[in-house]
Amino acid sequence: MFTIKDHLEVRNDHLMIGGADTTELAQKYGTPLYVTNESRVIENFSEYTKAFPDADIYYAAKANGSFAILRMLAREGAGADVFSYGELYMALLAGIPRGKILFNGNSKTDFELRKAVELGVKVSVDSRDELHTLSEIAEKAGKTAEIAFRVNPDVSPKTHPKISTGLSSSKFGIPSKEVVGIYREASQLPGISPCGIHCHIGSQILETAPFVEATQKMMDLVEKVTGAGIDLEFVDMGSGLGIPYKKGEDTPKPRDLADAILPVFDERTEELGISPKLILEPGRYIIADTTILLTKVNTVKKAARNFVGVDAGFNLLIRPAMYESYHYVVVANKVASKPEETYTIVGPICETGDILAEDRELPRVEKGDIIALLDAGAYGFSMSSQYNGRPRCAEILVNDGNSDVIRSAEDVGDLMGKQKLPARLM
């Protein structure tokens, strides 16, 4: 037995996850299939809590909002970063305490703001317009909304442009120069209690320097806002810590992030004589490497390239098509066999861009083989769709060799879903 990537082992040429043989899982539950290793989720979360013992960790539900995952993290003491009423609803249902939820978003509906007020969760306010709407809603409800402002610290996270969020050109946050003014304004408004500050600079960030720069810039703002007489109870630094999608890639861990940013945070808060709670909102680091996507080979075709056609496409894992993301690939039933050819793994979707992995050296691939795409837990299922009339696949949780369905596969009935026909079309 040997290990291919941390918790993923190989036994008799088969890929094992959480003590379960992936080829048996594929046979038992069918493919495509998302498989999550329960203990790995807990390990990743506790890596964060150990690195940041004084911080609150708000899991970013958008990365993977499956109910069982939210429930596991709730039991570990996680809070949640939610970006919609749907995510808020699921987080509360999973038992995440309302006091540990931050409702984020750059374009919330009035309904969502009303729900946030009614349910008493903190809101990260992204614009002056939103501030005023929220004030009216809270006043009308006879409540006070605890808010942070999402600020735009103008830091380059050196990641894919589509997931850079803290650049001055991005749609997120209040520009730094307007921050003090908006806190002053907020402190005068009915129904509003400005008590936190929030930023998030991007995702899949592979070095600590951008986080240090963001912390410095945020602490400059904390100083100014505190100087304007506002008590900040929390500083939420968002998230963005990347993971090594490529084998052997050396990326910072939560411990490295803590070593890089905590000295800045601690020194500056001490200087100011304040003790705000630090909040972090990791999504990818907690869940990405816990999960694999198993997909069966339908056809192998030598054409311009050596194409392997599998039963999962960008309907189930859109990251490669959307961000040119790399996911490590193995043939789950031949993991230890020698690579023999270069293959490009493509899905069944009617688009040329439906490529899951390009030019990979793999053992000889045949119809019926099971391909595993690794590190598919973050922004995998949560970004899936039914495009091309493809019902979504099942999700399985494995632990100590046992497996449970945490989401049943959809079937064609789910394609009809809530659709209706006007009477004239009956």
Provide the binding-site residues for ligand LLP, judged by CB under 6 A: 60, 62-63, 81, 104, 163, 165, 200, 203-204, 238-241, 281-285, 319, 323, 378-379
Backbone angles phi, psi at 51, to 5 degrees: -70, -30
Cα gap 330→251, rounded to integer Å: 21
The DSSP 8-state label assigned to residue 337 in this structure reads S
DSSP for 240-296 reads -B----STT-----HHHHHHHHHHHHHHHHHHHT--PEEEE--SHHHHGGGEEEEEE
In the bound state with ligand LLP, the residue whose beta carbon lies nearer, of 9 and 207, is 207
The gap from C-alpha 355 to its chain's centroid, in whole angstroms, comes to 22
- Which has the closest alpha carbon to 124: 101, 143, 144, 90? 101
In the bound state with ligand LLP, the residue whose beta carbon lies nearer, of 194 and 283, is 283
The DSSP 8-state label assigned to residue 229 in this structure reads T
Cα gap 124→109, rounded to integer Å: 13
The gap from C-alpha 154 to its chain's centroid, in whole angstroms, comes to 22
The distance of closest approach from Cβ of residue 65 to ligand LLP in the complex, given in angstroms and rounded to an integer, is: 12
In the bound state with ligand LLP, the residue whose beta carbon lies nearer, of 29 and 45, is 45
In the bound state with ligand LLP, the residue whose beta carbon lies nearer, of 29 and 314, is 314
In the bound state with ligand LLP, the residue whose beta carbon lies nearer, of 230 and 378, is 378
Residue identified by tokens 């969502």 is 112
Cα gap 159→201, rounded to integer Å: 10
Residue 273: CB partners within 8 Å, gap ≥ 6?
none
Q: Are strands 234-236 and 277-280 parallel, antiparallel or unpaired?
A: parallel
Backbone angles phi, psi at 23, to 5 degrees: -70, -35
Tokens standing for residue 376: 């598919």
Q: Catalytic annotation on 199? A: no
The distance of closest approach from Cβ of residue 288 to ligand LLP in the complex, given in angstroms and rounded to an integer, is: 8
The distance of closest approach from Cβ of residue 370 to ligand LLP in the complex, given in angstroms and rounded to an integer, is: 23
The distance of closest approach from Cβ of residue 71 to ligand LLP in the complex, given in angstroms and rounded to an integer, is: 19
Element (H, E) at 76: none
The distance of closest approach from Cβ of residue 317 to ligand LLP in the complex, given in angstroms and rounded to an integer, is: 9
Residue identified by tokens 């830091």 is 155
CB 185 within 8 A of CB 149: no
In the bound state with ligand LLP, the residue whose beta carbon lies nearer, of 62 and 108, is 62
The distance of closest approach from Cβ of residue 203 to ligand LLP in the complex, given in angstroms and rounded to an integer, is: 3
In the bound state with ligand LLP, the residue whose beta carbon lies nearer, of 106 and 187, is 106
The distance of closest approach from Cβ of residue 143 to ligand LLP in the complex, given in angstroms and rounded to an integer, is: 24
- Which has the closest alpha carbon to 150: 179, 190, 121? 179
In the bound state with ligand LLP, the residue whose beta carbon lies nearer, of 63 and 145, is 63
Catalytic member of 195, 199, 350, 393: 350
Tokens standing for residue 209: 């320097």
The distance of closest approach from Cβ of residue 326 to ligand LLP in the complex, given in angstroms and rounded to an integer, is: 11
Cα gap 339→129, rounded to integer Å: 57
Residue identified by tokens 């309904």 is 111
- Which has the closest alpha carbon to 200: 217, 187, 183? 217
Cα gap 221→210, rounded to integer Å: 16
Tokens standing for residue 101: 């939820």
Query: Which residues participate in catalysis according to the annotation?
Result: 350
